Amino acid sequence: MPKPHDMGGLPNNEAIEQSDHQLMDWEMRMDALHQVLGQKGIRKTDEMRRAMEGLKPDLYKSLSYYERWTAALEILVVEKGILTSEEIDRKVVQLDQGRR
Amino acid sequence: MAQSNKYRPGDQVRVRVDSPSGHYRTPTYIQGKTGLVVASCGRFRNPESLAHGGSGLPEQPLYRVEFTQRSVWDRYQGPSGDKILVDIYEHWLDPVAFRR
């Protein structure tokens, strides 16, 4: 059973979106964070791919490009014991409250 | 220790059919297909090990393998001479015929 990313040759009747996507701030920050963690030897490209490919197919398909990166990076930093899911969730709530 | 490559350009190979858990870089659409080795791309750390925090060693030979589009896609409508090139690691290839 192919994983969700392995879609070469699957039937598809939807038009392919070919217009350029204007990057949002959070996407650029995610890219930067990803690069920094790579330079520090904390994550490798193949680990990112493995983490993304391991997402549940429905979730994988519902996420945008950098949302997948975000999900993968969270999986890896938790796996490596750098942060816990609780710490991340707590911070998200905190940031969310600060915005209101 | 210098290791030698199993295949050379001109050798005919068949791609293994497999779906190991974890990360691998041999797409489903090319598995089971027979093609021709056209180039050695060098040796690289094994992404299947790197994806899980491993060293990726020993490095694996990577080959550029040529397939006719018609052998890959049942309903391919283009010219019969159209080819598709896929880079595939040695451990995903079985020999069909060695160039004499």
- Whether A32 is in a domain gets the answer yes
How far CA B18 is from CA of A40, B28, B29, B31, in Å, comes to 34, 8, 12, 8
Structural domain contains residue A12 = no
Q: Indicate whether A49 belongs to any domain.
A: yes
| pLDDT band, very low/low/confident/very high, at B2 (cuts 50, 70, 90) | low
Contact: A50, B73; criterion CB under 8 Å = no
**For B1-7, what is the mean pLDDT?**
78
Q: Check A46 against B50: CB less than 8 A apart.
A: yes
Q: Can you give the pLDDT at residue B28?
A: 96
Domain annotation covers residue A58: yes
Shortest CA distance from A50: residue in chain B: B23
> Taking CA atoms, what residue in A is nearest to B47?
A46
Name A92's Cβ contacts closer than 8 Å, sequence gap at least 6: none
What is the total count of domains within chain A?
1
Cβ-defined contact of B23 to A9 (cutoff 8 Å): no
Q: Do B50 and A44 touch (CB under 8 A)?
A: yes
Residues spanned by the domain of A91: 25-99
Structural domains of chain B ordered from first start: 12-97 (2.30.30.50)
ipTM rounded to 2 decimals = 0.85
pLDDT in the model for residue A9:
87
Domain annotation covers residue A15:
no
- A74: CATH: 1.10.472.20
Nearest CA in chain B to A45: B51
